[in-house]
């Protein structure tokens, strides 16, 4: 969609405020120009006519008209800021909702820094053009139109001088817009890259310090900021050339007015009051005309921002979540993969995988890194859909279920534990609907987290920091386990949460499987032989295919792929 069209659609939501701004701008401008007429009349009547006693009346009238004009100008300014904040709020809300609903493939194709810059810098550009640009645009436009009429009532040649400047001003404005448009697009791309690099280095500061890589990372950031700086300097250079030219054209027009008015007064065709009125009108016009150059910058900036927002909000995304499908509340938990094929980023991940997991069965999934283990289990909650084949739950294709309902019945604990800024309580209760405090505490107890939480000064109200940075890796994993316990799933996916596991967290997972997940179907991706003792059977993946399927003892004795992966570990343990 065109950015201007989308921009106007958001603006149209508050048409009633916009109408008020337009009316206020018209009345305010009309009154400001009426002051010019009063000044001319004051000079002609009071001074030229020798009636100095009327000066006070004119002064009071000018003060009164200016005061009323100021009231309407307040309406314009406040209305512009109000509508700007509302549109910015709508854009941020819609952008966030759009990002949250996008497919996993979409999130893998864009950086978090780029999305952050769109929700901040780009939305701010739209807010500025409405909060600053809209009131000025309306006021200046009315001023130019009404100034023509006011000058016409004074002297027709004053209008001709004024109109002679308009084509030149418009030409300079168009040049400014054309020169800046591609630069603003580059500036936004560089800003997104800068933000992404900054976020990565803030989150990974320990790794940077550990490898003494500060100088290298700083050099990369300098390169990114240098490109950003050069584009901004070029914008400033263009603006610095054209903006003074706009003022110069207006000044030449004002000088022409003075020359003509002076000769006209000498010849007797123009009164001193008329010349005073015309000069006052030009004085009013001078500053707003200069603003037209800034307005072009604001508008180009905002449209560049809108284009980037539209790229996300209206992007053709392959996410096809089912909102009208079958309710999954009463599923039993049978999971079947039928000849499943999956590719990601041009690479074939799964190759004809067929597997049946009975209700309440605990199945381990093992294999070397890159064999497709995580990709396989992520098909169950529809993080991805297979290119070919089907995934069935209780004999029904997962695509036929209401996606949100399906995910409510699936617990998911991954290796990359994500906690959000907030309290420990809120992070545990993330996926539960209105849980009771005692349920949250019971989930924490089973996850072996309750004693640690209660030892904290603020207990469950303790803030965990961004990404749970104040907690250890094991503690974050146990929060994720407690979160899964509280969701009361029918199918539990443990996607390699044990790779960096401490002994206490491993026991927490075992306790959870024994006490709370006994009636669940469990898909356990792991590299730990000790965890596989909890399973009834193990599936071995290699290069996207199932190469072995059986219980731990049988697979270990078969001298196959499983024995190759875990045999050495068992010998060391023995």
DSSP 398-432: GGGB-HHHHHHTEEEEESS----SSBHHHHHTTTS
CB 334 within 8 A of CB 394: yes
Name the band, by pLDDT with cuts 50, 70 and 90, for residue 559.
confident
Q: Which of 193-202, 264-273, 442-451 has the lowest mean pLDDT?
A: 264-273
Assess whether pLDDT exceeds 60 at residue 457. Answer: yes
Q: How far, CA to CA in Å, does 303 sit from each of 3, 10, 177?
A: 6, 13, 11
Q: How far, CA to CA in Å, does 541 sit from each of 193, 493, 562?
A: 37, 17, 9
DSSP bridge partners of 355: 337
Q: Distance between CA atoms of 157 and 488, rounded to whole angstroms? A: 83
CB 127 within 8 A of CB 85: yes
Q: What is the mean pLDDT of residues 77-89?
A: 93
pLDDT at 541: 93
Query: What is the distance of C-alpha 28 from the center of its chain?
Result: 37
pLDDT at 357: 93
Assess whether pLDDT exceeds 60 at residue 573. Answer: no
Comparison of pLDDT for 355 and 36, the residue scoring more: 355
Q: What is the mean pLDDT of residues 495-507?
A: 66
Structure tokens at 27: 């009345």
Q: What confidence tens digit (pLDDT) does each residue in 86-135 have?
A: 999 999 888 888 887 777 777 767 777 778 778 888 888 899 889 988 89
pLDDT at 572: 36
Average pLDDT in the chain: 81
- The torsion region of residue 355 among left (phi > 0), alpha (psi -120 to 50) and beta comes to beta
Residues of the chain with CATH 1.20.1560.10: 3-313
Q: What is the mean pLDDT of residues 371-379?
A: 90
Q: What confidence tens digit (pLDDT) does each residue in 256-294 have?
A: 777 777 676 555 567 777 777 877 887 787 667 666 667
Angle at 149 between CA 145 and CA 153, to 5 degrees: 165
Assess whether pLDDT exceeds 90 at residue 540. Answer: yes
The superfamily CATH assigns to domain 3-313 is: ABC transporter type 1, transmembrane domain (1.20.1560.10)
CB 566 within 8 A of CB 529: yes
217-224 long-range contacts, Cβ below 8 Å, gap at least 24?
221/194, 221/197, 224/190, 224/193, 224/194, 224/197
Does domain 414-488 sit in CATH 3.40.50.300?
yes
Assess whether pLDDT exceeds 60 at residue 245. Answer: yes
Q: Distance between CA atoms of 176 and 45, rounded to whole angstroms? A: 45
Residues of the chain with CATH 3.40.50.300: 414-488
Assess whether pLDDT exceeds 60 at residue 211. Answer: no
Q: What confidence tens digit (pLDDT) does each residue in 39-64 have?
A: 887 877 766 555 666 778 888 888 99
Query: Is 371 in a helix, a strand, or coil?
Result: coil
Q: Distance between CA atoms of 297 and 274, rounded to whole angstroms? A: 36
């Amino acid at each position: 969609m065109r950015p201007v069209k989308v921009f106007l659609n958001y603006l149209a939501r508050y048409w009633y405020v916009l109408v008020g701004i337009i009316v206020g701008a018209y009345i305010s401008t009309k009154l400001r120009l009426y002051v010019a007429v009063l000044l001319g009349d004051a000079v002609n009547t009071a001074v030229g006519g020798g009636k100095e006693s009327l000066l006070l009346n004119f002064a009071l009238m000018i003060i009164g008209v200016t005061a009323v004009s100021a009231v309407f100008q307040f309406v314009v300014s406040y209305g512009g800021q109000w509508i700007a904040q509302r549109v910015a709020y709508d854009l941020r809300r819609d952008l966030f909702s759009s990002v949250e609903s996008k497919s996993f493939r979409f999130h893998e194709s864009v950086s978090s820094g780029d999305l952050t810059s769109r929700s901040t810098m780009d939305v701010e550009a739209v807010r500025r053009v409405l909060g600053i640009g809209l009131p000025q645009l309306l006021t200046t436009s009315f001023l130019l139109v009404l100034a023509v009429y006011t000058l016409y009532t004074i002297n027709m040649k004053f209008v001709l001088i004024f109109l002679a400047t308009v084509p030149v001003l418009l030409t300079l404005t168009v040049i400014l817009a054309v020169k800046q448009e591609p630069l603003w697009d580059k500036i936004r791309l560089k800003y997104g890259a800068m933000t992404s690099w900054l976020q990565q280095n803030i989150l990974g500061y320990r790794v940077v310090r550990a490898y003494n890589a500060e100088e290298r990372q700083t050099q990369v950031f300098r390169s990114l900021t240098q490109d950003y700086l050069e584009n901004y300097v070029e914008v400033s250079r263009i603006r610095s050339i054209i903006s003074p030219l706009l003022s110069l054209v207006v000044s030449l027009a004002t000088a022409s007015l003075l020359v003509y008015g002076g000769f006209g007064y000498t010849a007797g065709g123009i009164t001193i009051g008329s010349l005073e009125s015309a000069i006052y009108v030009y004085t009013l016009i001078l500053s707003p005309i200069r603003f037209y150059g800034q307005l072009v910058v604001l508008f180009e900036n905002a449209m560049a921002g809108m284009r980037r927002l539209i790229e996300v909000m209206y992007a053709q995304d392959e996410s096809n979540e089912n909102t009208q499908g079958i309710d999954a509340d009463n599923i039993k938990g049978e999971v079947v993969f039928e000849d499943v094929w999956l590719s990601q980023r041009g690479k074939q991940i799964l190759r004809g995988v067929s597997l049946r997991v009975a209700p309440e069965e605990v199945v381990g999934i093992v294999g070397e890194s890159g064999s497709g283990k995580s990709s396989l289990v992520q098909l169950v909650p529809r993080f991805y859909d297979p290119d070919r084949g089907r995934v069935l739950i209780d004999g029904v294709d997962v695509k036929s279920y209401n996606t949100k309902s399906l995910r409510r019945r699936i617990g998911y604990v991954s290796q990359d534990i994500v906690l959000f800024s907030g309290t420990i309580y809120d992070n545990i209760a993330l996926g539960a609907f209105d849980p009771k405090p005692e349920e949250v505490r019971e989930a924490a107890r089973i996850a072996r987290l309750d004693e640690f939480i209660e030892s904290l000064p603020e207990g469950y109200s303790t803030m965990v920091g961004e990404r749970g940075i104040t907690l250890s890796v094991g503690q974050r994993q146990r929060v994720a386990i407690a979160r899964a316990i509280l969701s009361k799933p029918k199918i539990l996916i443990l996607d390699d949460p044990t790779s960096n596991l401490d002994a206490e967290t491993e026991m927490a997972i075992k306790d959870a499987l024994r006490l709370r997940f006994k009636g669940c179907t469990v898909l356990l991706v792991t590299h730990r032989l000790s965890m596989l003792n909890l399973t009834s059977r193990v599936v071995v993946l290699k290069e996207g295919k199932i190469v072995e399927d059986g219980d731990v003892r049988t697979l270990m004795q078969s001298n196959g792929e499983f024995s190759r992966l875990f045999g050495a570990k068992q010998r060391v343990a023995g």
